Amino acid sequence: MSDTLNHAPNGAPEGARADVIHDIGYRHYEGPRLGPGYATRSLYTSSLRGAFGLGRSGKSKILPMAMCVIMALPAVIMVAVSVYLKSGKLPIEYTYYLTIMQFVIAVFTAAQAPVLFSRDLRFMTVPLYFSRPLRSSDYVRAKFAAMASAVFILTMLPMLIMWIGSLLGSMAFTYNLEHFSYGVLAAAFYALVYAGIGSLLASLTPRRGFGVAAIIATFMVSQGLAQAIFGVMRFKGHVTSGHWVAMLNPGMLIDSTVQWIFNVPNDRPNIGVPSTLGGVVFLVWIGVLVVGTFALLVRRYRKI
C-alpha cells in the first residue's frame, strides 16, 4: 500500500520518539533508616495480631477467639460458684487447670502456627522479607516470639480470672498469689514448648491443612501414648518408673516439672517425677525442646 507508514529500525513509526521518560512524582527517601531491629519488631507485632485474627477478616477471628472463650469459660464458672458458695478456696489448682485444658492449647497452636508460618511459604512471601534488612534468624525470632506470646496470652487468661476471683472472694491472698506464680511459670513453659513444636511442624509444609493435622496429631498421639504406657507400668506396679513417660508428652512433662519445682501436693498418679535426678532431667528436657525447635527453625529458613 502506498500509504504504509515507514518504520524506524527499532519498530516505531518514523518520526516518533523511541523512548519517553515520564515524571510521576517519585522522590528519593530521605528519612531515617530504621534497620533490622525495627523490621523484626514490626514483624513480631503483625504476627501476634495475626495469631488472633486482628487486622484480618472476621472469619479469621472466629477460631482463635473461640479458643480464648473456651479456655476462660470454665474458670469464670468455677470462680463464680466458689464466690457464691463462699468456699474460701478454688476447687482446682492453677497449674492443674492448664493440664485439664491442654487440648484447647493444642488446638489453638495447631490452628494458628500455620497462619504464621505456612502462609508465607505458600504465597512465597518469605523471599520478600529477606530482600529487606531482615535475616532469616530475625524472621524466625519474630515469628517464634509471636507464637509463644499468643499461647502465653491464651494460657494466662484463665490464670488471671482465677486469681482476680480469689481476691473478690476474699480467699487467702498469700496462698493464691504464690500458686498464681506457679501458674505463670507453667503458662510460660506451655508457651515456649507448644510454640516451638507447632512452629517447627508448620514450617515444614506450605499447606495449612497439612500443618494443622501434623501438629494436632503430634500432641494428641503423644498424650495417648504416654498415658497408655503409664497405665501399663502402673498395672505392673512400676508407678515411679512410669513417670519417665512424661517426656513423651509436653503437657505431662510441664505439669510434672512444675509440681516438682514448687513441691506442690499432688494426688494424681500419672503426674510426678521419678526422682530428684528425674526432675532435673525433665527441666533440662524442656530446655532442649525449646532450644532445639528454635535451632531447627533457623536452619530450615536458612535454606529458603
Torsion sign over Cα 143, 195, 156, 190: negative
What pLDDT does residue 119 have? Answer: 83
Q: Model confidence over 23-55: pLDDT tens digits?
A: 677 677 677 777 788 888 989 999 999 999 998
Q: Model confidence over 133-153: pLDDT tens digits?
A: 778 888 899 999 999 999 999
Model confidence at 14, pLDDT cuts 50, 70, 90, reads low
Torsion sign over Cα 226, 228, 229, 233: positive
Does the pTM surpass 0.75? The reply is yes
Of the given ranges (15-24, 94-103, 206-215), which has the lowest mean pLDDT?
15-24
The answer, yes or no, to whether residue 277 has pLDDT greater than 60, is yes
- Long-range CB contacts (within 8 A, 24+) of 70-77: 70/104, 71/101, 71/104, 71/105, 71/108, 71/154, 71/155, 71/157, 71/158, 72/157, 72/158, 72/161, 74/101, 74/158, 75/157, 75/158, 75/161, 75/162, 75/165, 76/161
